[in-house]
Amino acid sequence: MDTNTEINENSKNIESLSDTTSDLGKETQSVALIISESVEETQDTIEEYINTSKKVENIIEKINTIDTITQHNMQSVVEVTKASEHLYSMTENLNNELNKFKS
């Protein structure tokens, strides 16, 4: 092979290698873009999880408040029941005493 042919082949090989390198660079940029988009979506998802967690904590606090109010209401019902029973007993006693005077 003469020198000119060899130079031409080497030039073609270099051009082919350059094209391959260019294609590889484009593919690398494409992959980098996909990774960047994935990172952004992951960050959005994480922020949504954090917001959901805060909302769940708020719901739990409200449920605990409702539980406390319910316990107080139960105590009040018990106290009202006792007072009603006592009032009924006093009314019965008063009726019995009044009936003594009627006889």
Q: What angle do CA 52, 58, 62 make, to 5 degrees?
A: 145
- The model carries a pTM of 0.57
pLDDT of residue 8: 87
pLDDT tens digits, 3-15: 888 888 888 888 8
pLDDT in tens, 33-42: 999 999 999 9
pLDDT given for residue 103 in this prediction: 64
Q: Burial level of 11, CB count in 10 A (0-12/13-18/19+)? A: exposed
Helices (H) and strands (E) in the chain, counts: 1, 0
pLDDT digits (tens, 9 = 90+) for 18-64: 889 998 999 999 999 999 999 999 999 999 999 999 999 999 999 99
Task: State the pLDDT at residue 64.
Answer: 98
